[in-house]
Chains A and B, each alone.
Chain A
Amino acid sequence: MKRDRITNLLEGLIFGNRPLLLGFFLIMTILMGISLSQLRIDAGFAKLLPLEHEYMQTYIEHGQEFGGANRVMIALMAKEGDIFTADFFETLEQATDDVFFIPGVDRSQVSSLFTPNVRYTEVVEDGIAGGNVVPADFTPTAEGLERVRENILKAGIVGRLVANDFSGAMISAELLEIDPGSGERLDFIHASALLEEKIRETYQSDRIDVHIIGFAKVVGDIADGAQRVVLFFLIAFIITTVLVFLYTRSVILTLIPLACSLTAVIWQLGMLPVLGYGIDPMGLLVPFLIFAIGVSHAVQMITANTAEVRAGAQRIDAAKASFRQLLLPGFVALASDTIGFITIRLIEIQVIQEMAVTASLGVAAIILTNLVLLPILLSYVRTGNRYHRRVNQQVQVLKPVWRFFEQAAEPRPARIIIGVALVLFAFGAWKGADVKIGDMHRGVPELRTDSRYNMDSDVITTHFSIGVDLLSVIVETEADGCIDYDIMSAVDRFAWHMNNVPGVQSVVGLPGIAKTIYSGWNEGSLKWRVLPRNQSSMVQAVGYVPTSSRLLNSDCSVMPIMIFTEDHKAETIDRIVAEVKSYRNQHPYENISFRLATGNVGVMAATNEEVSAAQFPILLYVFGAVILLCYIQFRSIRAVLCIVLPLGLVSLLAYALMSLLEIGLKVSTLPVVALGVGVGVDYGIYIFSRLRSNLSKGMPLQQAYLHTLAVTGNGVVFTGATLAIGVATWIFSPLKFQADMGILLTFMFLVNMLGAILLLPALACLLLPKNKPEQPQP
């Protein structure tokens, strides 16, 4: 057969040049190790955006001008009483000054009671008077503070820069993604660390609490959490090592698979700087996954090798034999993994695409380390009699276990298993259909609800009238549109319409502000709080609003309508977005377009739609690839069914689990579902491959399966359990998305393993043609 010729050729090449190849692996690993030292953590805002999405085009066009997504808000809260104390004002002034000098802060956009852009106006007999809220001659005396209190009320900044109950004050600052001076990209993690060090640590006292929120802070906190993630990986690694040792009963046979898998990880991470990538907090799971897949395959190789040695083979022959047995299934399994990883590229979000590329590179590395390096290393291993005794002992201990599982291939239990599987299938289809896209909980979804960030966010949203969930609709019109009554009034009607949509907390836009200002020009009378039809009055009303308010652009042709939402649950976002779309369909204007969307909720809306659009194609391609590869290897539809049906069931159950645990389908969890299929197919392919090879020797199914279990099944159960225990530790991660991934991966590893050793043989029992039990050997 042609395939055998290729295997023979490769076997000759590999085992004929062992020192040469070892040298190659050593040098490559050293080079990659050097490259790895260049690796840095890299978290950018743009990377997390689905840039191709319609909404994000709006974001790119207008994001710079209207920004807002990159705001940092620092609230100083008096622990007792209110803010009108000398001590509080002194602290607020110093903190404001310090914020000015944090690198990346746009100094023109800093506002607090102490910045000159915060002014009050009041109606007096002969017009409008105004001044700075904290006057230049301010002294923190009782009179001075009383004057500031009055100015605060006149300035209408209660709820924005001062807490509604006067228990705190806010410093708001905008961060620039590109430093205008140096042209360098802002280091969010650094900025976040500076905020901690210069602001929180400096000003937090027994009288004043400091709360900080904003995207930079989120990224910083994720990065902090990510450092602890490394600890979780270490724990997972140690657990794996101990379990591998318990499994192999040999130090050398423990070290070899771990070393091979680590080599793959080093190569994968080393490739990142070469490709110009950093490692993103979201992508941290990839190295671990590579390690896990590596161990999983290595254990198969070790198990096969041990079986050969026990059967009496010389060490080099044993290595060659296991290489021959596993080259094809190993390659097919890893190719399926690679395809699984590559399909997540369909999500047009840079961080995901980087993850897809680096993960496929990692799997490619495993093909080399586990199918080439590992057999070579094994061929050098000399195992003593004591090792053989230990292995024999283990085999004896496990025999009854395998006898038990072997029943899955007997007709009656097989029918029961398939019956249970059908019930689970129905359950999965029922619950899985309920899975929600996007986030379902309060606060920043990457962090836990009780994380400091989300607590800070809670304090700030409770005491200030500030929504943290913002969807901005960008209204584009002609130049000077904001002084045209018809245009302004159309925009105003839109804003009011959106205000009435359930889930909307408040709407802020230029027309609303212009009305208030026009009323101000008319002695503050509420009866004049309208948009004036008279153009010069409109000019007067709008002219008062600076472009720095982010409510209009310089030629007044673009006005964002800021829709603050009550939360960012997918259903809330969907409802609001649908309302915007239906409104603009029902009210078409020639010269006005309402464009979705910027703001953090705008980003979520785009991301949700992207995830929702990608989820079915991803599963389609993953399963398509798995089916194709299995068919190419086994040339049998029945074989494909035996392998793929359990995978399908597990995917469906994973959806049901997400629905039950209220884990949304989002950027961090969608890849897990795709990757889970990749991991699961390994088990199926290895088991089926050996099962068929045993069947072709003429064994009846039950016997063939018993033999399969003792070798391959052993490895599958072991790796499934080991990897599940490893990732289960993630559930305790400070990062919500990692915890979610941990839950899902644990589930995937375990249930895929069960699917492969229970459902696969049951299906084989019903689907495969039977070998006669007492068929004589030819």
Chain B
Amino acid sequence: MCPRSKTSHHIVALTCLLILIMVPITAGADNNSVAARLAPEALLLGAARAGEDLIVVGERGHLLRSTDLGKSWQQIIVPTQATLTAITFIDPQHGWAVGHDLTILKTTDGGQNWHLVHQDIDEQPPLLSVFFLDINRGFALGAYGTFLETDDGGRTWEQRWISEDDFHLNAIAAVGDHLFIAAEAGIVYRSDDQGETFIELTPDYSGSFFGILPLKDTSLLLFGLRGHLFRSDNLGENWRQLPTDTEAGLTTGLQLKDGTSLIAGLSGTLLVSKDHGQSYSVRQDPDRKGFSKLLETADGGVLAVGDFGVTLLPQSLLR
């Protein structure tokens, strides 16, 4: 046996020991995520910034942190192996990650340590998106109308229903003082009172919406299945469909500091607009990656996560 694997045996032994010690304290510690060499190349779904640091999450409880603007990644072991779908930070210290099995993780030290604050594995729907208004109040939403809210920074969560339907709630975003939720079956919800109540909006489409991109001028873009892209300039009262020239599902959007807006999706689809989201042209990533989330780094780079793992998009693709 080579020395490297001897070391790894020691690490395994040490980990086992730690787990044994920690079992009484942390429930389900034997479900800790496992360090994996290829974690940065495996399915990653969510990304967020904690100050200048970058944190991405994905399958098997993989959570990776970069302190060099996305050039290198260190895996952080978290107390779950559930697939994590989304992550948010309200300030450089406080962040939450959500995922399958109604899993919610919380950090208070900029993502270096994570605690399991919520989980329920009995055939429960996945959480798909998370949003915090401030350090205490936040929402985690997911499939079949799942809507969890907290008033104590995520220590406790309450389930409630925002509509009589139980459509998947795919994404949540703030446009000015308003909250928008992109849902299944062509539904969009809007809250004008910080999430106390939601009203239903219906753009003219029956397929699913996967994401919302608020633009700087309080316009917003709504996108989803089979290349469908809508724009509203009046908080969703009226919608206008924009041609996209793609049939791929659109999953995530991002407006850069310079005003360029990007919408990305499956099969390597990337839409780029230089006219403040009035029109988009298609760029095809040659590797046909499936994008799940785009994020602008502190130095203006574009970080992408998806079925390929995590990567910085080449500038050539964005021009």
Task: List chain A positions with a Cβ less than 8 A from chain B.
Answer: 122-125, 153, 158, 493, 496-497, 499-500, 502, 523-530, 533-534, 586
Contact = CB atoms under 8 A, between A and B. Distances in A.
Contacts of A158: 288
A540 B217 CA distance: 44
A530 B126 contact: yes
Contact of A530 (B12, B83, B170): B83
B251 A526 contact: yes
A497 B36 CA distance: 8
B249 interface: yes
Contacts of A493: 34, 60, 81
A527 B126 contact: yes
A153 B284 CA distance: 13
Given A125-B207, A497-B34, 4 more contacts: A153-B267, A493-B81, A496-B36, A533-B122
B19 to A, nearest CB: 13
Contact of A527 (B42, B122, B128): B128
Contact of A525 (B121, B207, B251, B267): B251
B45 A526 contact: yes
A146 B154 CA distance: 51
A533 B121 contact: yes
A527 to B, nearest CB: 4
A534 B81 CA distance: 17
B292 A526 contact: yes
B261 interface: no
Given A500-B38, A530-B59, A123 B128 contact: no
A500 B35 CA distance: 10
Which of A153, A497, A500, A524 is the most central at the interface, judged by chain B CB atoms within 10 Å of its CB? A524
Contact of B306 (A524, A526, A533): A526
Contacts of A496: 36, 42, 60
A523 B186 CA distance: 13
B71 interface: no
Contacts of A529: 43, 59, 83, 307
Contacts of B207: 125, 523
25 contacts: A123-B226, A125-B225, A125-B226, A153-B288, A158-B288, A493-B34, A497-B34, A500-B36, A500-B37, A502-B37, A523-B208, A523-B225, A523-B249, A524-B249, A525-B249, A526-B43, A526-B290, A526-B292, A526-B307, A527-B86, A528-B126, A529-B59, A533-B121, A534-B123, A586-B12
A527 B46 CA distance: 9
B59 to A, nearest CB: 7
B210 interface: yes
Interface string B113-124: 000000001110
A499 B60 CA distance: 14
A153 B288 CA distance: 9
Contacts of B80: none
B194 interface: no
A496 B43 CA distance: 12
Leading 6 A-B pairs by shortest Cβ distance: A125-B207, A527-B85, A500-B37, A526-B292, A530-B83, A500-B36
Nearest to B228: A125
A interface secondary structure, majority: mixed
Contacts of B123: 533-534
B206 interface: yes
Contacts of A123: 225-226, 249
A586 B34 CA distance: 14
Tier of interface size on chain B:
35 or more
Contacts of B121: 533
Contacts, number: 64
Nearest to B45: A527
Which of A497, A528, A530 is the most central at the interface, judged by chain B CB atoms within 10 Å of its CB? A530
Contacts of A497: 34
B222 interface: no
B84 to A, nearest CB: 10
A123 to B, nearest CB: 7
Contact of B226 (A124, A153, A499, A534): A124
Contacts of B106: none
B266 interface: yes
Interface string B70-90: 000000000001010110000
Nearest to A501: B37
B190 interface: no
Contacts of A528: 126
A512 to B, nearest CB: 10
A771 to B, nearest CB: 57
A143 B207 CA distance: 28
A524 B306 CA distance: 13
Contacts of A153: 267, 288
B210 to A, nearest CB: 7
Contacts of A523: 207-208, 225, 249
Nearest to A526: B292
A153 B100 CA distance: 29
B287 to A, nearest CB: 9
Nearest to B129: A527
A497 B33 CA distance: 12
B281 to A, nearest CB: 19
Interface in B39-79: 42-43, 45, 59-60
Contacts of B83: 527, 529-530
Contacts of A502: 37
A499 B38 contact: yes
A122 B247 CA distance: 10
Contacts of B86: 527
Contacts of B306: 526
Interface in B284-300: 288, 290, 292
A526 B288 CA distance: 14
A156 to B, nearest CB: 9
B5 to A, nearest CB: 8
Contacts of A125: 206-207, 225-226
Contacts of B126: 527-528, 530
Contacts of B100: 530
Nearest to A485: B123
A158 B42 CA distance: 19
A91 B182 CA distance: 48
B172 to A, nearest CB: 14
A523 B267 CA distance: 13
A525 B101 CA distance: 17
Contacts of A524: 249, 266
Contacts of B128: 527
A496 B83 CA distance: 14
A533 to B, nearest CB: 5
Nearest to B9: A582
Contacts of B251: 525-526
B170 to A, nearest CB: 8
Contacts of A124: 226
Interface string B23-34: 000000000001
A28 B206 CA distance: 90
A527 B208 contact: no
B274 to A, nearest CB: 27
B255 to A, nearest CB: 22
A530 B267 CA distance: 19
Interface in B92-130: 100-101, 121-123, 126, 128
A123 B123 CA distance: 24
Interface string B223-248: 00110000000000000000000010
Contacts of B43: 526, 529
A507 to B, nearest CB: 10
Contacts of A500: 36-38
A496 B85 CA distance: 19
A685 B122 CA distance: 80
A503 to B, nearest CB: 12
A637 to B, nearest CB: 41
A527 B249 CA distance: 13
A124 B126 CA distance: 22
B74 to A, nearest CB: 16
Nearest to A516: B307
A493 to B, nearest CB: 8
